[in-house]
Amino acid sequence: MNDDNVEGRARVKHTPQLDAYYEELAEYDAGALWTVANDIEPWEPKAHSIPMIWRYRQLRPLVLQSLELVRPEEAGRRVVMLVNPKRHDVSAAVGLLYTGLQVMNPGEAASAHRHMASALRFIIEGDGAYTIVEGERVTLERNDFVITPNGTWHEHGNDSGSGPCIWQDGLDIPLINTLEANFYEVHPDLHQRVGKPLNASCKTYGHAGVRPLEPDWRKAYSPLLKYSWSHTYEALRQYAQASEGSPFDGLMLEYVNPMTGGPVMPTMGAHMQMLRAGQATRAHRHTGNVIYHVAKGSGYSIIAGQRFDWEEHDIFCVPSWAWHEHVNLSRDDDACLFSFNDFPVMKSLSIYREEAYALNGGHQLITHGQEN
């Protein structure tokens, strides 16, 4: 909406007297609200980020090249970041979410650290990856989802004999930095002592429908650290037999904290959604930012009127309040999209809003041409 002639919106015209007045205010580090009011109070959210796709087949060789160029001991973390062209200033992929591709050779290990930012990982390839979180060693396989909540000691490595492991990192670093609340600590011994059975949290909390009576769990994040692909995919397949799912999201499962049923961490949530063969969802939009990872299949998404074709392990993003809809191009197989988001922040601050696209049978017109 154009603000120029709207009653109740700022529409003061420049005059020489006013310009002189603004300059005088500026000398005292003050300013006139009406010169910025319409910008700082938009009619609806204006995302800085633009919709983006990062194609795995293009990035994979570059990720592998980093194995020869830097050692984890020097780099701390050997990660290729995915940066939104409009978010270089905060190193975000979309909104205030960061993502990157981390790679490790067999035998390599990154040192332990902890920070105020929360982290999650989605495993892409390789079979020897592990992460150690608060003394628990967790083994990682393709399409597994693992969390390293804020304040927890964590370190990663690859102890396979075969080849490199690659996984996607997702962190809320830009959010925590914007809130000016980030801390970072290196573990005093550089590595943790593993003090719990292998995959202890999966053994304790990883069984749907039951949970231990553990009244002492008071932390703000899920005690279950890993959500395996095999469990999640089977859950989706069974859900598909029992439900139509959502017209906007297909069959959508949220990864939850088994103690609360809520999101896995206080700032970031995650989902895995299944699109049936040939399914085209309807468009909707919501506040909050989402980073998707194509776990299975191929298709395309229309985001803010632009088509993005995707295949396995591509990563794409939907900025806040952007219309989006997804299409599975396969005629006989499902497609699965992993995603993580900042919805817990939006919801806990009561600023989450969602809207269905009402025009054109619920589908956007492609206005920006295909993205290649």
Q: Is 119 in the site for ligand GTQ (CB under 6 A)?
A: yes
Q: CB nearer to ligand GTQ: give 63 or 259.
A: 63
- Residue 77 is classified by DSSP as S
Count of residues that bind ligand GTQ according to CB under 6 A: 9
Please report whether residue 150 would count as binding ligand GTQ according to CB under 6 A: no
Task: Give me the residue label for tokens 């490790």.
Answer: 104
The reply to whether 166 sits near ligand GTQ by the rule CB under 6 A is: no
Smallest distance from ligand GTQ to CB 268, Å: 13
In angstroms, the CA 294 to CA 332 distance is 17
Closest separation in Å from C-beta 97 to ligand GTQ: 12
The CB-of-321 to ligand GTQ minimum distance in angstroms stands at 26
Q: CA-CA distance, 304 to 202, in Å (whole number)?
A: 39
Per-residue CA distances from 214 to 203, 235, 258 (Å): 14, 25, 11
As a whole number of angstroms, the distance between CA 51 and CA 24 comes to 41
**Which residues in 205-244 contact ligand GTQ (CB under 6 A)?**
none
Q: How far is the CB of 355 from ligand GTQ (least distance, A)?
A: 33
Q: How far is the CB of 210 from ligand GTQ (least distance, A)?
A: 31
Task: Give the residue ranges of DSSP H helices in the chain.
Answer: 16-27, 37-40, 56-69, 72-75, 173-178, 200-205, 229-242, 343-348
Work out which of 77, 207, 237, 368 binds ligand GTQ, going by CB under 6 A: 77
Beta strands across the sheet bearing 290-296:
52-54, 315-318, 290-296, 335-341, 269-275, 251-254
Residues 21-60 that bind ligand GTQ (CB under 6 A): none
Q: Which is nearer to ligand GTQ, 171 or 270 (CB)?
A: 171
* 51, 72, 95, 100: residue in contact with ligand GTQ (rule CB under 6 A): 100
**Contact indicator for 326, 281 with CB cutoff of 8 Å:** yes
As measured in angstroms, the least distance from the Cβ of 313 to ligand GTQ is 16
Give the shortest CB-148-to-ligand GTQ separation in angstroms: 6
**CA nearest to 12, candidates 23, 1, 2, 3:** 3
- Residues 337-356 touching ligand GTQ, rule: CB under 6 A, are none
Q: Which is nearer to ligand GTQ, 265 or 274 (CB)?
A: 265
Site string for ligand GTQ, 167-206 (x = CB under 6 A): --x-x-----------------------------------
Cα 256 to Cα 248: distance, rounded to the nearest angstrom: 20
User: Residue number with the shortest CB distance to ligand GTQ?
Assistant: 169
Amino acid letter for position 177: N
What span, in angstroms and rounded, lies between the C-alpha atoms of 87 and 252? 29
Instruction: Please report how many Cα atoms fall inside a 13 Å half-sphere around the Cα of residue 196, on the Cβ side.
Output: 16
In angstroms, give the least distance from the CB of 34 to ligand GTQ.
41
Give residues in contact with ligand GTQ (CB under 6 A): 77, 79, 100, 102, 115, 119, 154, 169, 171
